[in-house]
């Protein structure tokens, strides 16, 4: 289930299930979006990106969906594994401006 904590919402999933992490972005002019994974005490790790001229992009076990109408981005992780436990951030950029990060979601995988 999903719960909103003091700062970061948390999504708990059973190992092997699919995870869906959502993100609402702020700027309708944004043309580039990235999902990052961050483990405790480390910098963000690139997962997958998508440009605004696409609405779906697939990687290995991950899929990003972009809905520009409602400014919504989602990350789907198939067959979630314990190693997927981390905080996930979406980030947006437009015309090569600095990345602006969303609030983040903590994914907790239950073995």
Partner 1 sequence: GAVVSQHPSRVICKSGTSVKIECRSLDFQATTMFWYRQFPKQSLMLMATSNEGSKATYEQGVEKDKFLINHASLTLSTLTVTSAHPEDSSFYICSARQGVGYTFGSGTRLTVV
Q: Which residues bind partner 1 (CB under 8 A)?
A: 5-8, 32, 34, 36, 41-46, 49, 89, 93, 96, 98-104
Nearest residue to 101 (alpha-carbon basis) of 91, 93, 111, 110? 91
- 14-32 in b/e form (b: 16+ CB < 10 A) is eeeeebebebebeeeebeb
Report the residue number, 31 or 78, with the smaller CB distance to partner 1: 31
Report the residue number, 7 or 111, with the smaller CB distance to partner 1: 7
- Least Å distance, CB 30 to partner 1, is 14
- Least Å distance, CB 71 to partner 1, is 17
Between CA 80 and CA 78, with CA 45 as vertex, the angle to 5 degrees is: 20
Report the residue number, 62 or 101, with the smaller CB distance to partner 1: 101
- Least Å distance, CB 79 to partner 1, is 25
- Least Å distance, CB 26 to partner 1, is 12
Determine the straight-line distance between the first and last CA of the chain, rounded to whole angstroms: 15
């Amino acid at each position: 289930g999903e719960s909103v904590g003091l700062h970061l919402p948390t999504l708990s999933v059973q190992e092997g299930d699919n995870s869906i992490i959502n993100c609402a972005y702020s700027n309708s002019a944004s043309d580039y979006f990235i999902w990052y994974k961050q483990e405790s005490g480390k910098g963000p790790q690139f997962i997958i990106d998508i440009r605004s001229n696409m609405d779906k992009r697939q990687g290995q076990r991950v899929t990003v969906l972009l809905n520009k109408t409602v400014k919504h981005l989602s990350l789907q992780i198939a067959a979630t594994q314990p190693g997927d436990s981390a905080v996930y951030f979406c980030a947006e950029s437009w015309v090569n401006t600095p990345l602006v990060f969303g609030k983040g979601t903590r994914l907790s995988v239950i073995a």
